[in-house]
Amino acid sequence: MPTILGQNQYGKAENRVVKITRDGATHHIKDLNVSVALSGDMDEVHYSGSNANVLPTDTTKNTVYAFAKEHGIESAEQFGIHLARHFVTSQEPIHRARIRIEEYSWERIEASDATSRLIGADEPKHSFVRKGQEVRLTQITYDGSSWEVVSGLKDLVVMNSTDSEFWGYVKDKYTTLKEAYDRILATEVSGRWRFNWTDDEQRMPHWEESYEQVRKHMLQAFADTYSLSLQQTLYQMGSRIIDNRGEIDEVRFSLPNKHHFLVDLEPFGLKNDTADGAVYYAADRPYGLIEATILRDGCEARIPEDLTNL
């Protein structure tokens, strides 16, 4: 049976690059995990093994490190844009470049008061501790004429210890869950948001500020929403981002419900309720998984339903 080649790409995945910028005694860290995927006129390498149009993946790796030095890393988005533009415009057979980046944040360790007094104004600021709150993400795609930038985060664990209920749901003969009128609501946020910036000639968003503001609105919505369902909270998180950030047209969340169940302490003669220092069992699996896309009115969804594909 005859076969034909379908969609394909190649590149170097997970290039770990750390860029240290020295501003006198104060140092700044950008810590990235960069994956490059290229596609274009690659039929012959699959059909006959001819590498005439193939830029080696080792070269893409070297390019990542060289660009970190030559261009610096102002932001994950800006760095990805530099790389995508380079691969598409410098290599004729390459028609499309996709750059995926994870960014790992570091927090400065401040000197103790005693050390500050000894060293004075020129105290060194070169000690850091890895932040454990979330991993920042971005994906830049360029086909020679238009851009698509999707950024996001993962592994951001949040909790409301009250102001959450769950009741009034469908019940059948298999339902055992009791209605809850004061429960813990916790989740590990995986979110992506798509920018409406598509043209290199237009004014770019301020990527660093945008990320911080999106994160702020996301967390404020989580904290401010009196939740009757995790779906309601998810929608409020996405809506607040769209309402406050004009550069973003689409937000997609995947929120696992990190269930906390009241422990049955009656066998020990103990009452366990939310009014008197309740004790919970934190279940890691199975878990409810709530996913949805929130769009600016009139826009189409483009972020894949499976967020792990970004």
Are residues 157 and 135 located together in one domain of the fold?
A: no
> Is residue 183 annotated as involved in ligand binding?
yes
Residue where a domain terminates, one of 126, 145, 164: 145
pLDDT tens profile 113-134? 544 554 455 566 777 888 888 9
Residue where a domain terminates, one of 121, 145, 169: 145
| Secondary-structure percent of the chain, ordered helix, strand, coil, rounded to 5 | 25, 35, 40
Are residues 164 and 133 located together in one domain of the fold?
A: no
pTM above 0.85, yes or no: yes
pLDDT at 59 (0 to 100) = 97
Q: Please state the φ and ψ torsions of residue 124, each to the nearest 5 degrees.
A: -70, 145
Are residues 161 and 139 located together in one domain of the fold?
A: no
36: its two tokens: 């490059």
The answer to whether position 2 is within a domain reads no
Q: Which residues in the chain come in under a pLDDT of 50?
A: 114-115, 118-119
Task: Output the CA–CA distances (angstroms, integers) from residue 227 to 105, 141, 191, 246, 283, in the order listed.
Answer: 30, 36, 19, 26, 20
CB 289 within 8 A of CB 256: yes
Are residues 305 and 166 located together in one domain of the fold?
A: yes
Are residues 172 and 216 located together in one domain of the fold?
A: yes
**Selection from 244, 193, 190 nearest residue 216 by Cα:** 244
Angle between helices 207-224 and 230-244 (to 10 degrees): 140
pLDDT at 115 (0 to 100) = 47
> Is residue 166 annotated as involved in ligand binding?
yes
pLDDT at 113 (0 to 100) = 56
Which residues are the active-site residues?
Answer: 12, 57, 259
> Is residue 182 annotated as involved in ligand binding?
no
**Residue 249 lies in domain:** 152-310
Are residues 140 and 172 located together in one domain of the fold?
A: no
Count CB neighbours of 224 within 10 A.
13
**Domains of the chain: total:** 2
pLDDT at 122 (0 to 100) = 57
